[in-house]
Chains A and B, each alone.
Chain A
Amino acid sequence: MRKLNKFIRYTVLILISILCLFSFYLLIVNSTRAHSQIQKGFSFTFGDFFSANLKNILSNKELPVLRGIINSLLVSSLSALLATYFSILTAFSIQTYEFRFKKIAFTFIMMIMMVPNQVSALGFMSWMGKLNLMDSLIPLFLPAIASPIVFYYMFAYMQSNLPKATVEAARMDGASELRIFNQIVLPIMKPAIAVQAIFTFVNAWNNYFIPSLIIRSAEKKTLPILIAQLRSADYLKFDMGQVYMLIFLAIIPVIIVYILVSKYIVDGVAVGSVKE
């Protein structure tokens, strides 16, 4: 009975895993095949057009893919850096200091946590126009400084990992507040930084809605915008090898990083889950 039970469970788990992985497997297979081979039909085996597809999509005149990768990397890295550093700074302020508006500040951040950025997109667009930040990468990463969810994760982590005595002891030694933060608090927060840096990076990397409203010129486009552009092109004229390769470039690097650090991610989800 128990053996049968176990067998059923493993079978279901394997079927679900296949469901999760199958589309990515087809993606990898088709990114290694030429357009004519893809047209001919279904295949489970790899072709040898991977490097040709890669070369073709990177030198595509209509899609600035290399530029898109660089822009996406830039926006995502800066977002991760700003979100983690300033969220810890904000959390440190509320955790360590006693001041009048502390409670109000905390309640305010908790209140804005669930406000989706789509509902202020209209004002965001017109206000960025007035600030002369339309068609600029700045509005894609600078807002990361105010990330309520990252803040709350950092705050929760700090409560159980940063004893008040540590800060007091550093003060006794005559360290300035900024130095205490940079040299004592930040190193203690390293595990939390790792988890949140990855989440923020991935969210920024995947973000499509806001960039599609802000970015106009070809040399500032990020990867999701290029994918949308490819979708609206006439696909009958398109080289499917290049289509799969562009999707590959958008998805596979994230998967590789995830596999390397999945232990921390999966454990981190229950504590502070992801939000776009």
Chain B
Amino acid sequence: MKSFSQNKKKSISYAKWGYIFLVPFFVIYIIFSLIPLFSTFYNSFFENHMSGLIQIGPNFVGLDNYKAILFDSDLPKFALNTIIIWLVGFIPQIAISLLLAVWFTSLRVKLKFTRFFKTVVYMPNLIMAAAFSMLFWALFSDIGPVNNLLVALGYQPFSFMQSVWGTRGLIALMNFLMWFGNTTILLMAGVMGIDNSILEAAEIDGASSWKTFWHVTIPSIKPILIYVFLTSLIGGIQMFDVPQILTNGAGGTNRTSMTMIMFLNRHLFSKNYGMAGALSVILFIVTAIFSFIIYKNLTESQPKEVIRGGRK
């Protein structure tokens, strides 16, 4: 009897440690993330901005900020910019990553130096986006080395920063360079997870590399492809550092490279808290929907050990 009560007492005291060890995470999360999140939601229902030197509000205005940002602002244009730039980077990214993932894991043609190539393609992912963008601006500016090279080769100089597709293309190129290595490694994990006997069976049946790729590999890694697609889309929605630095916050010619987060950043700096709040809530909802689809996709069809964590 005595030992039973002692045991019980002991297990209760262990549970106490479970709570104690959780305290730092939750206290910090509440202070630095949860309160700010609720405060952002709260602000989205108030008119609160500067008109010249006069502070207007905060006055409760219901959903007026949402109406204003959705129907009376350039948000649809900036959303379209963001999606276009993301797509221009994502399409080559997924194509090259699939190709490399299959090559690196191929049993038929064993490549050498794969460690070196993997190291190189992943490297741009760790680069400071702001510095990378500054570097591209310096290299592609009107008097930069790329234009010097064009002139030296006898071509006309090309003003990347004045051209709509020059600017968008550079942003997409940087996004591509920064993310295709990461995607390659994620897809490799998927390809290596395919049951070898299926691939061997396809080979015995005389299927070509192309057929095996299209009919065995792609369907087998579909959950990871969906994961890569959606996480990249969420990262695309958050696109900020690269276009902000490249265009110096102006969004390029006619603001054709202005992204949604750059727009948010402008409202934050001009202290238009009502609009910034409404925009934040909209972005939160969109991200939450995509995240929920990822979660469903992973828990339903994905062997748990292949992918963990998120990406940008």
Contact = CB atoms under 8 A, between A and B. Distances in A.
Interface of A: 2, 5-6, 9-10, 12-13, 16-17, 19-21, 23, 26-27, 30, 38-39, 41-42, 86-87, 89-90, 92-94, 96-102, 105, 109-110, 112-127, 139, 142-143, 145-146, 149, 151-153, 156, 177, 181, 202, 205-206, 208-209, 212-213, 223-224, 227-228, 230-232, 235, 240, 243-244, 246-247, 250-251, 254-255, 258-259, 262-263, 265-266, 269-276
Contact of B308 (A38, A116, A118, A153): A153
Contact of B109 (A6, A112, A113): A6
B119 A115 contact: no
15 contacts: A16-B121, A94-B22, A99-B19, A127-B36, A127-B39, A146-B26, A149-B310, A156-B308, A208-B130, A243-B134, A247-B138, A251-B128, A270-B188, A271-B309, A273-B308
A26 B132 CA distance: 12
Interface of B: 11, 14-15, 17-22, 24-26, 28-29, 32-33, 35-43, 96, 99-100, 103, 108-109, 111, 115, 117-132, 134-139, 141, 143, 145, 148-149, 152, 177, 181-182, 185-186, 188-189, 234, 237-238, 240-241, 244-245, 248-249, 261, 264-265, 268, 273, 276-277, 280-281, 283-284, 287-288, 290-291, 294-295, 306-312
| B interface: dominant SS | helix
A122 B22 contact: no
Given A120-B33, A122-B273, A251 B131 contact: yes
Nearest to A22: B139
A125 B268 contact: yes
B95 to A, nearest CB: 12
A250 B128 contact: yes
A116 B145 CA distance: 36
A233 to B, nearest CB: 10
A10 B111 contact: yes
B91 to A, nearest CB: 16
Contacts, number: 304
Contacts of A112: 29, 33
Given A26-B145, A230-B134, A122 B43 contact: yes
A118 B135 contact: no
A271 B309 CA distance: 8
A119 B311 contact: no
A118 B268 CA distance: 11
B245 A228 contact: yes
A19 B41 CA distance: 43
Given A115-B287, A250-B131, 18 more contacts: A13-B100, A20-B120, A20-B124, A23-B132, A41-B148, A93-B20, A97-B17, A113-B309, A114-B234, A116-B238, A122-B39, A122-B43, A123-B38, A127-B39, A149-B310, A224-B128, A228-B245, A244-B138
A143 B138 contact: no
Contact of B127 (A143, A251, A270): A251
A234 to B, nearest CB: 11
A94 B52 CA distance: 52
A208 B129 contact: yes
Contact of A117 (B22, B33, B248, B311): B33
A114 B245 CA distance: 25
Given A97-B17, A121-B280, A149-B310, A231 B39 contact: no
Given A228-B130, A251-B132, A275-B310, A126 B14 contact: no
A121 B138 contact: no
Contacts of A94: 18, 22
Contacts of A86: 24-25, 28
A113 B309 CA distance: 8
Contacts of A114: 234, 287-288, 290-291, 294, 310
A98 B43 contact: no
A141 to B, nearest CB: 11
Contacts of A100: 15
Contact of B130 (A206, A243, A271): A206
A13 to B, nearest CB: 5
Contacts of A228: 130, 244-245
Contact of A209 (B137, B240, B287, B311): B240
B119 A262 contact: yes
Contact of B32 (A124, A126, A244): A124
B33 A266 contact: no
B128 A39 contact: no
